[in-house]
A and B are shown apart, each in its own frame.
Chain A
Amino acid sequence: MMGALLAQLPVQTPDVDWTGLLPVLLPSAGALVLLMVRSLVPSRVMPAVLDAVWTFAVAVASLVSVVVLWQRDAEVQAFGSQLVMDGMALFVTAVVLGSVALVAPTLPRYCKRVGVASAELCVLILLAAAGAVVMAGAADLIVLFLGLETMSIAAYVMAALNLRRLESLEAGLKYFVLGAFSTAFLLFGIALVYGATGTTSLDEIGRHLDTFILLRDGMLLAGSAMLLVGLGFKVAAAPFHAWAPDTYVGAPTPVTALMASAVKAAGFAALIRVFVEALGTRADDWRPAVFALACATLAVGSVLAAVQSDAKRILAYSSVSHAGFILVGVQAASDSGVAAVLFYLAVYAVIAVGSFTVVAVLSGQRDDRTGLDTLAGLSSRRPALALGLTILLLAQAGVPFTSGFVAKFSVIAAAVEARSYWLAVVAMVSAVVAAFAYLRVVVAMYFRDSGDEAETAAEAPKPAIGLGAGAVIVAAVLFTVALGVVPGVLESLTSTAAGL
């Protein structure tokens, strides 16, 4: 019926594979529906829990559509090949939606306790997810930019959503100002690359550079440098990471979890699309830059994580150092490097959501009690919670039999295969430094002196975990351990996604 109507119109419409776009359409439509329903239906009729339930349902439905698309043979191209749902796009989409599905169950209790408007938060989460999916599937620099902006603007607002807390507003403002600044770099980079190659399609940029030798490639180099800066901001790579710690700490903790998982995954998907795929022939030009970026990110992230005294801030800096690890995989500029990046993204997304959820559970009425001292003696107050956080932290440190080890192994293997031995060494040494930061958290939970412990245990009541957050933490821990023991399942998925 719709098709018949369209056919009568004088304009030529492109042939669009709507099912292929479901991972984009479902979250956007879900967000709009929720927004509409919330503004029409009075809140006493519709309990706040339903926002999160809806978000979870939309995320799961989109995940199902991803699985269906994954099992198709042909990759989906839409809008004149401006959006491509290939293996990598689907994998990153799954990571993004999976993070949303993991965060959603923790929201009702959190929003009620801290006083964050849950409807707005859920709408923004779904919109950000839609933007992230567009980024993952973008086959054109302009589409990439659209997705990035959709995601970022939603994220700016989410960061500032805890209105009772000054730091949250600061986080939102900082994120917004620096994010807008970086977007300018990105746009300028797009313009320069367009100037150098005459196209914004990533495919055609690649083909152009394959076919022609640029006699004067200054514009291309400047353009790719700008793109690297712009995307470097998004994934919080040093020296463009300055916004990250403050924003991570100030933002409502579930939002922080999403920034560390979904937003980061989308940013790295864009990095791979632009650099490994489109600019793959110019790898010799950009690999040294990414090498330097990775080294700086690893060093800054792990060293600064080790000197913090706030659990949330430790996790924020450790997120920077993980970005460094993922950059090691990008730097390999190979299919196995891409597979390693995808593996790391999936693993880290789950770990990050799990760890930040533990922090959120403990963070108190205003979501600001995140110092290491609030964790003191957690092992005696909440042994299971302490054990869960410990496993997630050990996974971040890369201890064997956790997914974190396998992820580190995969990027190290990719780097070594690409003969980047020193980068691999830097990465492993920085992992040791970062381990010190995680051990500080563990020490706070387990090894405080007994007198001290009794004191804190007496004054601090048992934190209430709640069903949703509890289930999320359990799921994250199980995923982390199971993948550490049998990583083969995910490994074959990432290999397929990377086209190995």
Chain B
Amino acid sequence: MAAAVLASEPVMYSSSSFVAALTVLVLVPAAGALVLLAMPRTRPDLFKLVALAASTVSAVLAVWVLAEFDAGSAASFQFWQQYEWITGWGVSWQVGVDGLSLFLVVMTALIFPLAIVGVDAEHSPKPYYAWMLVLEAGCLGTFVALDLIMFFVFFEIVLVPMYFLIGGWGHGRRAYAATKFFLFTMFGSALMLVAIVALAFLHSSASGAGVTFDLTAIATNQLLATNTARWLFLAFALAFAVKVPLFPVHTWLPDAHTNAPTAGSVILAAVMLKLGTYGLVRFGLYLFPEASVHFAPLMITLGVIGIIYGAIAAAMQRDLKRLVAYSSVAHLGFIVIGTFALNTEGLTGGVLQMVNHGVSTGALFLLVGMIYERRHTREISELGGLQKPAPLLAAVFMVVMLSSVGLPGLNGFVGELLVLLGAFNAHRWWAVVAAAGVILAAVYLLWAYQRVFHGPASGANAETPDLRWREGLVMAPFLAAIVFMGVYPKPVIDRVEPAVDAIIAHVEDNVAGFAEPVANVQPPVSLEDLARSTGEADHNGAGNGAGEHNGGYGGGAEHGEGDG
């Protein structure tokens, strides 16, 4: 059956002998959770091992997929597979990775074992690790799903394990935070479900074919009326905006992060927020190119508001974890403006930032968790001078924090630079405002670092133990990734860019009068040319031609900004 569909779908591409890799990748953690559930309660020592084993299998598979991934055809779906699921409704189990999702899958599969090994369950280990594994299966499933219903199912299922992790193992107002998190996200995706079904039915009645939820089939055959597509895009975008979270639907995030257990915060920041940004690219730009262009100014505006608002709010926080949470709002704003810059630089930067933010903020939350474990407080005012008793901890924190700030040579810089380049070409002034956000990030993070680690260490602060071996080993991969992607991002960009180019080309193909906003640079003009052109007033260089195209788009954009 797979072969038959393959023939009718020329974009699909399968490179490897072991095509079931992605399905196994998703199912192994789920199976691990079932194993945990069946285990007797008398062997608590084994729970962590089983969880670690299951997530490590997934991690190894993910690394294998990364190694086998054909960078030359990163724009098409590899390891692609389709099984029938609910035949009567046209729903299938369809998985595949391209350059957009590859690194998200790898990052997810690598962070889970680290979070499992790095943080012990405070109590009731069995359900804790079972929920972690369910969460991993859900996140991985979301990134590899190529069927709209399958995507929705995984996108939604991650709520449940995270709800229980926050509520069961969290701190403070955990029941409140967990419920708020659940309801906010569920509300967003409630409308998306209606939109998905409407999209499939409208598409099927326009194409005359049977109802299908196949992402590529719908995306590559744009049939919907402009207005309809815009409504549907809004419903999708709302679901993703809640998850990202974009201003003004971000209010669940600080509560969830602050009250979640450390591993929960790590996964929430590193992986779950990416479900939203990834969704905006794959199920926003790709499915609704015209609507994405139409609403790009709105989304960019919200992104910029998020950057500035998140930064200011972060600077005002007294709780270290809440500070990092608000910094996420700011960083995710960058990803959104990169995405909706709608050019290669911006979108590549956005995808890179998804991975970078996952690594940096994941590591930051781990470190905050370590500080909390030592000092039993996250109040910045009660911490101070930790550098003296715990120099290693301070050093690691420094590197991670600087990567989050975007210091050149570390991973954050590469992504942010690309995002700002892209945004500058598309929406110059918004890029300028967003760039101010980079400075603000330096302000609140450095200030926090200074208050926590510098100064005299008094009382309990002076007794803070340094990094233990295990903690060091958990942090090492994060540091390696931070430095590697900062110094030599080429292998990553090589795989991301073809996919990004394909999406941008897809948008250009399907939106009349839209051209990728690129740098509007005058070509070097020689003296002879200058002399010749003085007679012909209407002579235009190639660059100006592109500029005209841009002008059309830019005009529409400015209009939209007025609306926003």
A432 touches B190 (CB 8 A): yes
Interface string of A396-411 (1 = CB under 8 A from B): 0101110001100110
B152 touches A400 (CB 8 A): yes
Which A136-193 residues sit within 8 Å CB-CB of chain B?
none
Write out the residue numbers on chain B whose beta carbons fall within 8 Å of the beta carbon of A454. none
User: With the chains together, A442 CA to B167 CA distance in Å?
Assistant: 10
B149 touches A409 (CB 8 A): yes
Write out the residue numbers on chain A whose beta carbons fall within 8 Å of the beta carbon of B87. 488
Tell me if B399 counts as interface (CB < 8 A to partner A).
no
Selecting from B179-187, B355-363, B450-458, B497-505, the interface stretch reads B179-187
Tell me if A439 counts as interface (CB < 8 A to partner B).
yes
> A491 and B88 in contact (CB under 8 A), knowing A394-B160, A400-B152, A435-B182?
yes
Selecting from B192-200, B215-223, B341-349, B370-378, the interface stretch reads B192-200
User: With the chains together, A435 CA to B182 CA distance in Å?
Assistant: 9
B179 touches A443 (CB 8 A): yes
> A412 and B193 in contact (CB under 8 A), knowing A400-B154, A488-B85?
yes
User: With the chains together, A397 CA to B191 CA distance in Å?
Assistant: 15
Write out the residue numbers on chain B whose beta carbons fall within 8 Å of the beta carbon of A413. 89, 197, 201
A429 touches B197 (CB 8 A): no
Q: Is the interface of A mostly helix, strand, loop or mixed?
A: helix
Write out the residue numbers on chain A whose beta carbons fall within 8 Å of the beta carbon of B194. 412, 416, 421, 424-425, 428
Tell me if B159 counts as interface (CB < 8 A to partner A).
yes
Write out the residue numbers on chain A whose beta carbons fall within 8 Å of the beta carbon of B89. 409-410, 413, 491
Tell me if A447 counts as interface (CB < 8 A to partner B).
yes
Tell me if B471 counts as interface (CB < 8 A to partner A).
no
User: Of A400, A406, A409, A446, which one neighbours B164 at CB under 8 angstroms?
Assistant: A446
B190 touches A416 (CB 8 A): no
Tell me if A365 counts as interface (CB < 8 A to partner B).
no
Tell me if B178 counts as interface (CB < 8 A to partner A).
yes
Tell me if B168 counts as interface (CB < 8 A to partner A).
yes
Tell me if A194 counts as interface (CB < 8 A to partner B).
no
> A400 and B197 in contact (CB under 8 A), knowing A432-B183, A443-B175, A491-B89?
no
Tell me if B153 counts as interface (CB < 8 A to partner A).
yes
Q: Is the interface of B mostly helix, strand, loop or mixed?
A: helix
B86 touches A436 (CB 8 A): no
B179 touches A439 (CB 8 A): yes
B197 touches A432 (CB 8 A): no
User: With the chains together, A439 CA to B149 CA distance in Å?
Assistant: 24
> Which residue of B is nearest A400, CB measured?
B153
Tell me if A417 counts as interface (CB < 8 A to partner B).
yes
Tell me if A495 counts as interface (CB < 8 A to partner B).
yes
- A436 CB to closest chain B CB, in angstroms? 6
- B362 CB to closest chain A CB, in angstroms? 25
Write out the residue numbers on chain A whose beta carbons fall within 8 Å of the beta carbon of B160. 394, 399
User: With the chains together, A406 CA to B88 CA distance in Å?
Assistant: 12
- A398 CB to closest chain B CB, in angstroms? 9
B159 touches A416 (CB 8 A): no
* Max count, chain A CB within 10 A of own CB: residue among B153, B187, B191, B194: B194
> A429 and B198 in contact (CB under 8 A), knowing A443-B175, A488-B85?
no
> Which residue of B is nearest A408, CB measured?
B193
User: With the chains together, A467 CA to B20 CA distance in Å?
Assistant: 42
Tell me if B174 counts as interface (CB < 8 A to partner A).
yes
Write out the residue numbers on chain B whose beta carbons fall within 8 Å of the beta carbon of A394. 160
Tell me if B446 counts as interface (CB < 8 A to partner A).
no
> A492 and B88 in contact (CB under 8 A), knowing A425-B191, A443-B167?
yes
Tell me if B157 counts as interface (CB < 8 A to partner A).
yes
B168 touches A446 (CB 8 A): yes
Interface string of A223-247 (1 = CB under 8 A from B): 0000000000000000000000000
User: With the chains together, A405 CA to B190 CA distance in Å?
Assistant: 11
B186 touches A447 (CB 8 A): no
- B493 CB to closest chain A CB, in angstroms? 35
Tell me if B516 counts as interface (CB < 8 A to partner A).
no
| Chain A interface (Cβ < 8 Å from any Cβ of B) | 394, 397, 399-401, 405-406, 409-410, 412-413, 416-417, 421, 424-425, 428-429, 431-432, 435-436, 439, 442-443, 446-447, 487-488, 491-492, 495
- List 25 A-B residue pairs with CB atoms under 8 Å apart, sorted by A's residue number: A399-B159, A401-B153, A405-B153, A405-B156, A406-B86, A409-B89, A409-B197, A413-B197, A421-B198, A424-B197, A425-B191, A428-B190, A428-B191, A432-B183, A432-B187, A435-B182, A436-B179, A439-B163, A439-B182, A443-B179, A446-B164, A446-B168, A447-B168, A447-B178, A492-B88
